[in-house]
Amino acid sequence: MNAVLPTLNTADPAAVLPLLRQHLTAERLVPYLGPGVAALSAPAIPTDYPALAAALGKRVALPRRARGNAWAAAQYIESQRHRSTLDGLLREIFATPVAPCALHRHLAGLHPPLIVDTWYDGAMRAALEPELDWGEIQGITRAGIGEFRWFRAYDRKGVETPVANAGGWATLLYKPHGSVAPVGNFLLADADYVEVLTEIDIQTPIPDAVRLRRQGRGFLFLGCRFDDQMLRTYARQIMKRSRGPHFAVMGEGELTRNEIRFLKTMNITPVGGPLSAFVDALVTA
């Protein structure tokens, strides 16, 4: 177990699992998925930001200041090669479909009102049954679109639909940073986040349907890290005005000082142990 976690009053997974299972079944917890969930499927795509930066660096020669930083690498490619080049590279990097893991299938079977998925793969979409009433809202880049829009909505068949339709869906899949599926929307370059982070404190980039469905609920963070200010800001604003309680299964890697401060400030209880063991226990009970 991570030596830092006891200072955060880490919850024992065996002790807290019945409560989490109960809250998920009763729709009192919103699953908030990070790239660590995609990693459970052992996919042929990057499953963290350093790996994504490396994948971009293999395709474009990057200056030293952009190496190892996915956001800076994406910004350099957009600035030097055009936005269409960046989008094409990201579609290529994430082209291999990620098979839904046991957690994706378990969550799909619960039919929760809201699922937040912050990575770029389409595994959660693939796990949701096509015959059920669900849809997806994705964050979009505003680079070159000439519209005052922060997101687009897609029905379960992948067809773009008015965002207002999301209010009637039984399950809403929210991909705040975009996704390779169904059409390849990506927020990654520094410029993608300039206006978003300017407005996000007043909630403009957060869809109304997400704001409504988080009320009276807590969040369960799975496979997320908060070692970058942008990731912490997004999580904080998506959680805004939610009720709690909040939990996080982040794995066994050492937490940064900023992550510890974030968890404490947001009253998020960390759950010890590896994500894979937690998922196994959750889905087999």
Other CB atoms within 10 A of residue 226 CB? 26
Asked which of 76, 93, 110 is the last residue of a domain, the reply is 93
Residues 6+ apart with CB under 8 A from 124: 33, 100, 104, 107, 108, 115, 117, 173
Our count of domains for the chain comes to 2
- Both 58 and 141 in one domain: the answer is no
Compute and round to an integer the Cα radius of gyration of the chain: 18
Q: How far apart are CA 150 and CA 153, in angstroms?
A: 11
Per-residue pLDDT band at 13 (split at 50, 70, 90): very high
Q: How far apart are CA 4 and CA 120, in angstroms?
A: 29
Q: Is residue 15 predicted with pLDDT exceeding 60?
A: yes
Q: Is residue 106 predicted with pLDDT exceeding 60?
A: yes
- Both 72 and 198 in one domain: the answer is no
Q: What is the pLDDT of residue 251?
A: 86
List C-alpha distances in Å: 194 to 71, 81, 143, 183, 191.
12, 20, 11, 23, 5
Q: Is residue 1 predicted with pLDDT exceeding 80?
A: no
- Both 53 and 119 in one domain: the answer is no
Q: How far apart are CA 138 and CA 184, in angstroms?
A: 10
Q: Report the CATH number that the domain containing residue 157 is assigned in CATH.
A: 3.40.50.1220
- Both 80 and 158 in one domain: the answer is no
Q: What is the pLDDT of residue 216?
A: 96
Domain holding 65, by residue range, is: 49-93
- Both 136 and 153 in one domain: the answer is yes
Which has the higher per-residue pLDDT, 210 or 142? Answer: 210
- pTM of the complete model beyond 0.75: yes
Q: How far apart are CA 153 and CA 136, in angstroms?
A: 6
Per-residue pLDDT band at 144 (split at 50, 70, 90): low
Q: Which helix (H) or strand (E) holds 176?
A: none
- Both 191 and 82 in one domain: the answer is no
Structure tokens at 85: 């080049």
φ, ψ of residue 165 in degrees (nearest 5): -65, -20
Q: What is the pLDDT of residue 98?
A: 97
Per-residue pLDDT band at 147 (split at 50, 70, 90): low
